[in-house]
Amino acid sequence: MPGRTAIRVWVAVGTAIVVLAGAGQRPAGAGACSVPMYAYRTGAVIFSERGRTIRVRVQIADTPELQGTGLMCRSSLEPDAGMLFIFPASTREPFWMKNTLIPLTIAFIDVNWHIVEILEMPVAADPTSDDPTRFPLYGPHQPYRYAIEVNAGFFKQREITERAEVRYIPP
């Protein structure tokens, strides 16, 4: 999920949506974790490197509401699945792990579909804390236009590096 600056407003809006619509979801063992339920569009991202091709089924987060919720409050993620964040322009906005209950790896991707950086994002000590200072920020050293979150270790296990070619197949 994008970092504190962009999220603060959406957390408040998301909380209001949950309270007003009663649409919160509460996975088993999630404690106080509750977010709006959205119907995400889907697609695929293809990583190609050294003659190998890896396909990831993705949910698309292309609005501030969807980006603000991301993979929050989920207790698991399929091994070949992830979430693709699509931003209207290049950004340097970091991500954080607020209400994120599973460890993730994120690949930041530039406007030309080249991986800028890959970072591991462990679950925070208290993922449902209301104190935004308790969450590390995860952002690349260069601007990016897209980001894909997958299960922790996904890229390392599949030997996908920043040299991989990346393609997006829309829904």
Tens-place pLDDT, residues 34-67: 777 788 999 999 999 999 999 999 999 999 999 9
Spell out the CATH class of 4-169: mainly beta
**How many residues are there in the chain?**
171
Please state whether the predicted TM-score (pTM) of the whole model is above 0.75. Answer: yes
- pLDDT above 70: residue 159: yes
Q: What is the domain partition of the chain in residue ranges?
A: 4-169
